[in-house]
Amino acid sequence: MIRIARHGRYPFSLISDRPDYDWPAGARLAIYIAINVEVFAFGEGLGAELAPGGPQPDVLNYAWRDYGNRVGVVRMAELLDELGLPCSVLANSAIYEEAPGVMELFRKRGDEIVGHGRSNAERQGHLSEAEERALIAEATETLAAHEGRRPKGWLGPWISQSHATPDLLKEAGYEYLLDWCHDDQPVWMTTRAGPILSIPYPQELNDIPMIVGRKLDAAAFARMITDQFDEMLEQSVRQPLVMGIALHSYIMGQPYRLRHLREALRHILASADRRVWITTAGAIAGHVRDGLTKGTVEGAS
């Protein structure tokens, strides 16, 4: 019989076979909005593309991404204020130097700050363990110095991990990670320093793979958000679920896309009742850690 390589981080289980539990106040569907706040190098490194890139310096795509920090992020913060919604800010640590003022928008709102590496011009998965440890430490210390507290959650730039990443994050004091998009419930993962929680982060309900990758228009992406919400709310009768919405300011901060996003979020708010908990990724992790009996949530706890 063929031997399939395994990661050893969590066991396999069907969602229908797990213990039942509730979110706070008896809610069944937890929803969080993730705003990715990112910076990119000029003339080198990685970056999403609006159109096929030319030779470096690729001004077309660099300037498109830069729009997100100059304009788009302001509009998105205004939208969240308008609707009274919290968010989890997935922040590159270089944002403070490269785009001063951006993080102040979210600090004033009291939003959760999540570690997201140094820059989205790089990946961490190909680094040596020592280099990756140093990257995590640098990003963490920069965020802590500016925000007055260390982030509890992490998403690697480009969702890039090495075989040691969960171990290094746990050793650096992180309580949860978002990189593993394998479930609709939190799952405890094994590391050499003890368990770390995986919070569901969407690859489908994510504007980069859908709009940049699959070339969906704004109306179709907004319809995805409302369809996801309606269906998951019905499914949550059977199991407690997590619905994440992953957004980037240079994509959804474009005016015509923002208009569709507003309508999708209004739909959620209009339909939300006691079954729905609109929150942050960190609050979800906190409820699993402090509000549920050990062993309730799947995995290595």
Domain at 114, CATH number: 3.20.20.370
Domain-located, residue 4: no
Residues 6+ apart with CB under 8 A from 219: 260
Query: Is 238 in a helix, a strand, or coil?
Result: coil
SS (H, E, C) 78-120: HHHHHHCCCCEEEECCCHHHHCCCHHHHHHHHCCEEEECCCCC
Q: Report pLDDT for 301.
A: 54
Domain-located, residue 50: no
Structure tokens at 253: 């901060």
Q: Are 158 and 123 in contact (CB under 8 A)?
A: yes
Domain-located, residue 219: yes
Sequential pLDDT tens for the chain (301 residues):
888 999 999 999 999 999 999 999 999 999 999 999 999 999 999 999 998 888 999 999 999 999 999 999 999 999 999 999 999 999 999 999 999 999 999 999 999 999 999 999 999 999 999 999 999 999 999 999 999 999 999 999 999 999 999 999 999 999 999 999 999 999 999 999 999 999 999 999 999 999 999 999 999 999 999 999 999 999 999 999 999 999 999 999 999 999 999 999 999 999 999 999 999 999 999 999 999 999 999 886 5
Q: What pTM, to 2 d.p., does this model score?
A: 0.97
Q: Report pLDDT for 2.
A: 87
Question: DSSP states of 193-226 as a string?
Answer: TS-EEEPP--SSSBHIIIIIIS---HHHHHHHHH
Domain-located, residue 83: yes
Domain-located, residue 301: no
Q: Report pLDDT for 300.
A: 65
Domain-located, residue 79: yes
What is the residue range of 257's domain? 19-43+55-291
Domain-located, residue 33: yes
Q: Report pLDDT for 299.
A: 82
Q: What angle do CA 125, 186, 158 make, to 5 degrees?
A: 25
Q: What angle do CA 47, 282, 18 make, to 5 degrees?
A: 105
Residue 188 CA, distance from chain mean position: 17
Domain-located, residue 138: yes
Number of domains in the chain: 1
Q: Which residues pair with 202 in a beta bridge?
A: none
